[in-house]
Structure 1
């Protein structure tokens, strides 16, 4: 994992959420070096929702969604407001790990206002309206290969505990750097987001 995904060398963890940057859900041109807490508004999204996906099959799902399904939405007038995202709504860990997730893009206006009510489908999947949740979240940037995202998430979840909060659902990734065949995977930036709760939330 890139050193940009760790806040251990950047002083005490934050204890109070800040306002998000004006371009949220984009976090700015520079990677977030050290965990931050933000209190954010809901953001509309256009996504393909998939459930019960084994982790070993995720690459094929992403290829289908980004290569076949979402291009149909672009043809219909979809205008993303930021980098592509994958929002995980459930995850079962273990030898047979499976996840439920939404893959797509954030929007400035709800999906129906951009493309109308006509269903957008391809490859047996449909584009639907959803949203990034409002509330308190933790964020950090990972700079490095997608193969290192698992360890990056593990470190991030541990750092959330250092803020006096607990990670919750959903959590999501924003793929800030658009990959290309000839690029160095070590330069890929992925912003990690996680809904968090405090002990008071459990009361």
Structure 2
């Protein structure tokens, strides 16, 4: 199993700088590349450093097309800058776990986390995000990649 250490934690709301888009599954990689570049440039213009690793925030459970934000956490809200928007990861109770391995098996880890949430008698809100702890590169061994998974819970 590629899912490690599922737990329910309280997550504090976190300011982010993101690009938001309606994306199909086959467009995710290109969207991320474009969004991260735009956000880094906007943060540079504003003299703001990212406050953590790159993230992807799914505003609903992914289907054929879905709303997605890609960017970085910031210490405080930024000024909107073209396609780059000030946004926020929500606060509240979340199911959190770590996905170990490449992105091709990420869906399996999400499925396992959602099943685990049900086994805890909890319900997911539908909003979820990934934090890319290990920055991928062409030389990276996929087995060494780590992605934190967060699934917002209701009630």
Which of the five TM-score ranges fits, normalised by the shorter chain?
Answer: over 0.9
Give the one of 136, 140, 144 matched to 1:187.
144
In 1: Cα distance, 2:17 partner to 2:44 partner:
14
In 1: Cα distance, 2:134 partner to 2:100 partner:
9
Q: Secondary structure at the match of 2:128?
A: strand
1:120 corresponds to = 81
In 2: Cα distance, 1:128 partner to 1:44 partner:
11
Whichever structure has more strand as a proportion of its residues is: 2
Contact in 2 for aligned 1:72/1:120 (Cα 8 Å): no
Alpha-carbon distance, 1:157 to partner? 0.5
In 2: Cα distance, 1:92 partner to 1:167 partner:
13
Q: Output the aligned Cα RMSD.
A: 1.5
Q: Does 1:62 find its partner at 2:32?
A: yes
Higher RCO (C-alpha under 8 Å, 6+ residues apart):
2
**Larger radius of gyration, structure 1 or 2?**
1
Q: Secondary structure at the match of 2:76?
A: coil
Q: Secondary structure at the match of 1:120?
A: coil
Q: Which runs of 5+ in 1 are unaligned?
A: 6-32, 113-118
Q: Secondary structure at the match of 2:59?
A: strand
TM-score normalised to the size of structure 1?
0.71
Q: Which runs of 5+ in 2 are unaligned?
A: none
Number of equivalences: 154
1:41-80 matched pairs, under 5 angstroms: 41-51=12-22, 53-67=23-37, 69-76=38-45, 77-80=47-50
